[in-house]
Chains A and B, each alone.
Chain A
Amino acid sequence: MNNIIEIKNISYKYPNGPDALKNISFSIGKGEKIALVGPNGAGKSTLLLMLNGMIKPDLGEIHFSGSPVRYDRNNLRELRRRVGFVFQNPDSQIIAPTVFQDVAFGPVNLGLSKDEIKSVVGDALSAVGLKGFERRPPHQLSGGEKKRVAMAGILAMSPDVLVFDEPTSALDPAGSEDIMELLDEMHIDGRTIIISTHDVELAYPWADRVILIQEGEILAEGTSGEVFYNKSLVKSAKLSMPVLLDLYDGLVERGMPESDNLPKSILDFIHLLYANSSDIRNTENMDCGIIYLVDADRINPGEIKSLISSLEINGIGAMGSKAKMMADIEKIELDYTYGVIDKCLLKSINRKNSMIITTAGMIKRVYDRVLEFNQESMRDITIRNCTEINTKL
């Protein structure tokens, strides 16, 4: 994997303040999902602001796609276009009096033509699920909607790297899950994503790699399992262990054999329990429920409701803003909007049928995940694509 951002021996001190960052080095690979985790005041925001050149380090260098960042106007503009930064507080990021104008702010300043602006703004707004909000003023939006507007404003500049400072702060749990799902969606589109957070529950299943920082220094760096399954590390960083790992740890202490992979979701956990308990395994019925797949782009709007009522379905989930928007228009009650595939797999092993509404880009992901799960758990869960010729795995 080639590195898109490399940070080399950076130090920074605020005027009249203590050292904010002390000799920090790490690199970020293309297409990675990285969580910068640390307590309040650890220097997360300062570090993130350096990634798009808002703060110049006192010492050390930052390399972006192989060449060192130069702090002159033109280079900074190019850097800021390619590294999109979403602030913690959307109120300080939203500038314009209407949603359309705000999302168009970046593209206009990049000098796009009027038609191009219209199309990129439309794309960005539908990517965050805010189509139809163009003429609304930001002060009438909810916290989560404002956050989405801020994200759309950055997406409209088509950056390669997205940096989010505390993406889920001040959002309700459902709103946080929606935002994390959106981050995943942007990641599928091939972007590198870096977030800062102190919410370990959100960071643990989401991140490929976790960088733990405290008092301006890197405390640990590794996969989310490596970092969060280290009690002393977690404690010294004033964080808490994710509940799943805590539970796993408790069970291991009671004598459950350790697994090769740490459980990242409830599905993983249940699978782990089944794999380790011969009692359950012997009596377990290996029949599985079916996962029905619907491509929101291909199905005729009116058909989906009758399709749902003709099948015996216990749970419906939607992946991606487009699919969610369609479900909203069709007035389909969604049971899952976050971690959809795993939740449907869970339904399947409970011998219940479920349905996933999604768009073409993500169908492959569903197949991959289900195939992976089937191999891992020696089950035979079927996906039935309702909008194509029936396929059996």
Chain B
Amino acid sequence: MYYEFLEDIAQTNRLRDLHPLIKIILGLGCILISVSSQSIVAPLIIIITISFATIFLAGIDFRFYLKLLLIPLGFAVLSVIVIVFMRNSGQILFSYPLGDWFLLTVSYGSLNEGILIFSRVFAGMCSLFFISLTTPVTETFGLAVRCRIPGEFIDLSMLIYRFIFVLIEQAAQIYNAQHMRLGYGNLKEGINSFGMMAGALFINTWNAAENLIMAMDSRCYDGRFAMPDDSAAMSFPLLCLVIVYLMVNTGIAVYTSGFVLFGVAY
């Protein structure tokens, strides 16, 4: 299943042992640059370079990566089509009357804007997937401590992370048990079975919570959680390289801010 897949890849990819800070700076930096870029040049460069890093450096399967990207990009395409028709500025490319009242118009300005927004979303998604495919959640807890995020939040998120998988596993077991006994035959049955599953999960969760308290007590819980052993080595040359890359991209974004595909900038 997908949930397991993403986390598994993050745990096993080739860039796993890189210090998470480097990967997160790279990913977040790219997102910032691409969403604030005024032309499609910088986002395009980011799409190419980050995808290259994800596929060749981290060793993520190309087809899987493409499939993963298709999910958010599907939504993006739909919204961009709406934008292209809604925003009108500059020379009109074509217009098409829809009955007597509506006029569908596409202008060069709206086309430019649509493409720009699409490229920003695309680059942003690539950067986000770079982070989520190369950085396991477990590696980010140590980083959260460094960022002075309150301990309560970190402890809670660690417990949630641990038990999400237990919950999903149980849900899958219950679902299978229902499915085997034809619990999802038609819609009505399906709704009924789903409700039963939710109820059973709730009770299981309650039990698990009680067991958790017992387990923590029997291991002398005193309000403290162990933090990850940050053994991943920080590589300063690599960090510098990432910063240089981000600066070059920022430069490109600023330098090409007037660039448009169709018509002239104004």
Tell me whether A109 and B162 are in contact in the complex, defined as CB-CB below 8 angstroms, given that A96-B226, A117-B226, A137-B7 are known contacts.
Answer: no
Asked if B215 contacts A97 (CB within 8 A), the reply is no
Partner of A101, one of B7, B211, B212, B228: B228
Q: Would you call B212 and A95 a contact (CB within 8 A)?
A: yes
Interfacial chain A residues near B43, Cβ < 8 Å: none
**B221 contacts chain A at the CB level, 8 A cutoff:** yes
Are B220 and A138 within 8 A (Cβ)?
no
Contacts of B227 in A (CB 8 A): 101
Whether A137 lies near B136 (C-beta < 8 A) is yes
In the complex the two chains form, is B141's CB within 8 Å of A100's CB?
Answer: no
A265 interface hit (Cβ, 8 Å): no
Measured between beta carbons, the chain B residues less than 8 angstroms from A139 are 162, 165-166, 169
Q: Does residue A46 face the partner (Cβ distance < 8 Å to B)?
A: no
B132 on the interface (CB 8 Å rule)?
Answer: no
B219 adjacent to A100 (CB under 8 Å): no
- Distance in angstroms between the alpha carbons of A29 and B215 in the assembled complex: 26
User: Is the C-beta of A9 less than 8 angstroms from some C-beta in chain B?
Assistant: no
How many residues in A have their beta carbons less than 8 Å from beta carbons of B?
40
Is there an interface contact between A138 and B162, defined as CB atoms closer than 8 Å? yes
A-B contact count (CB 8 A): 103
Of the candidates A54, A98, A138, the one whose C-beta lies within 8 Å of that of B218 is A54
Selected interface stretch from A85-93, A233-241, A246-254, A278-286: A85-93
Can you list, as one digit per residue, whether each of A96-132 has a CB less than 8 Å from chain B (1) or not (0)? 1110111011111111000001100100000000000
State whether B159 touches A95 (Cβ < 8 A): yes
Most buried by A among B158, B161, B212, B226: B226
Q: Are A85 and B226 also in contact (CB < 8 A) when A92-B212, A95-B162, A140-B11 are?
A: no
For residue B196, CB closer than 8 A to chain A, the reply is no
When each residue 13-42 of chain B gets 1 if its CB lies under 8 Å from chain A and 0 otherwise, what string results?
000000000000000000000000000000
Give the docked Cα–Cα distance between A111 and B227 (Å): 13
Q: Which chain B positions have C-beta within 8 A of A104? A: 226, 229
Q: Is A106 in contact with B219, judged by CB distance below 8 angstroms?
A: yes
Q: What is the size, in residues, of chain B's interface with A at 8 Å between Cβ atoms?
A: 35
Interface string of A67-88 (1 = CB under 8 A from B): 0000000000100110001010
Flag if B166 contacts A81 (CB, 8 Å): no
Find the A residue at minimum CB distance from B232. A135
For B138, the chain A residues whose CB sits under 8 A away are 97-98, 135, 137
Per the 8 Å Cβ criterion, residues 167-224 of B in contact with A are 169, 208, 211-212, 214-224
A98: B residues at CB distance < 8 A: 138, 228
A130 to B112 alpha-carbon distance, docked (Å): 57
Note all chain A residues with C-beta closer than 8 A to B159.
Answer: 95
Is A157 engaged at the interface, CB distance under 8 Å to the other chain? yes
Residues A128-163 near B (CB distance < 8 A): 134-140, 153-154, 157
- CB < 8 Å: which of A54, A108, A135, A137 contacts B224? A108
Q: A92-B211, A92-B215 are in contact. Are A101 and B158 (CB under 8 A)?
A: yes
B137 in the interface (beta carbon within 8 A) = yes
* Complex Cα–Cα for A118 and B230 (A): 11
A81 CB contacts on chain B under 8 angstroms: 220
The 6 lowest CB-CB distance pairs between A and B, nearest first, are A104-B226, A139-B165, A92-B211, A109-B222, A108-B226, A101-B226
What are 17 sample pairs from A and B whose C-beta atoms fall under 8 A apart? A81-B220, A87-B215, A92-B211, A92-B212, A92-B215, A95-B216, A97-B138, A97-B162, A102-B226, A105-B219, A105-B225, A107-B226, A110-B222, A111-B222, A117-B226, A136-B11, A137-B7
- Which A residues contact B (CB, under 8 angstroms)? 52, 54, 77, 80-81, 85, 87, 89, 91-98, 100-102, 104-111, 117-118, 121, 134-140, 153-154, 157
- Give the interface of B toward A (CB within 8 A): 7-8, 11, 136-139, 141, 158-159, 161-162, 165-166, 169, 208, 211-212, 214-229, 231
